Amino acid sequence: MEYFVQQLINGITTGSIYGLIAIGYTMVYGIIGMINFAHGEIFMLSTFIALIVITALGILGMSSVALIIFALLLVLVVAMVLTAVWGWAVERIAYRPLRGSFRLAPLITAIGMSIVLQNFVQITQGARVKPLQPIVSGGYTLMEKDGFQVALSNMQIIIVVLTVGLMTAFSLIIARTPLGRAQRACEQDRRMASLLGINVDRTISLTFVMGAMLAAVAGVMYLLNYGVIDFYIGFVAGVKAFTAAVLGGIGSLPGAMLGGLLIGLIETFWSAYFSVEYKDVAAFSILAIVLIFLPSGLLGKPEVEKV
């Protein structure tokens, strides 16, 4: 029982990070009907931005808890702002010029942008793994039996609380703000939305920016939790987050978070009770099974063809 509870905690933590990245996929798809395959690399960029800022501020040498908290908040804000700029640039370079083209063109460009960002980070930061010493330490022992302790770290608490808070905030933004109404209008019919006075270009750009900011939060949490990054983590995390978005229902924000949690739990429990080499196989197998019976995902809505 103790081992199960520990893996449940680990799975929720991992799934929360996947869910934050998956929201970026599902927001972009909901408005322009395209998958931003450079989104994983945006997440990867945020981890390197955070690492550079942490090194520049010298957080590892700080002894005051209040000063560390302030510095980490500053790292989070800087990472979100700079990553948002990258997200805006991807939309302007890879999507906006090709928005009226055939549907495959932006997809190819996004894949090309993904490769460009990967190689940019590899050249500027090197191909070696970048380690980071633990900054947020400590935690709580929830259960103990026969020498096995069920531990809940402070970093895991921060990740889950931050994920729930951001999920709530973004849901309220989309449901109750003028920007959210504009996003929902563009999702239904971009041409009609523009005729009604909505700035479609600005709405789409802000959607990319919002998705990039969520990816930045996920990137900072990933760096602080695991302490190891490289230029390739964006591809792996991006594929899993995209899988989570499809599993939960592409276009649904709660579905993206639910899919992220399920992918995280499947990976964690499979690694704990079976072979760790086949954890990705297990996740994709569950995705295939779900889509056979629910083609729109767990919380997705069937697409209605406009005639």
- Three-state DSSP class for 6? helix
pLDDT digits (tens, 9 = 90+) for 119-171: 999 999 998 999 998 888 888 888 887 778 888 999 999 999 999 999 889 88
**CA within 13 Å, CB half, 299:** 15
- What six digits make up the tokens of 149? 């302790």
* Cα gap 36→238, rounded to integer Å: 10
Confidence of residue 304 (pLDDT cuts 50, 70, 90): low
Measured from the Cβ of residue 298, the count of other Cβ atoms closer than 10 Å reads 17
User: Between residues 116 and 106, which one has the greater pLDDT?
Assistant: 116
User: Between residues 304 and 139, which one has the greater pLDDT?
Assistant: 139
**Is pLDDT at 305 greater than 70 in this prediction?**
no
* Cα gap 244→58, rounded to integer Å: 36
Bin 251: left if φ > 0, else alpha if -120 < ψ < 50, else beta: left
Tell me the backbone φ, ψ of residue 94, rounded to 5 degrees.
Answer: -95, -20
Domain ranges of the chain: 20-233
Mean pLDDT of 38-42: 92
Cβ 171 vs Cβ 253: under 8 Å: yes
pLDDT digits (tens, 9 = 90+) for 214-256: 999 999 999 999 999 999 999 888 888 988 988 888 878 888 8
Q: What pTM does this model have? A: 0.91
pLDDT at 303: 63
* Cα gap 206→111, rounded to integer Å: 21
Tell me the backbone φ, ψ of residue 196, rounded to 5 degrees.
Answer: -90, 5
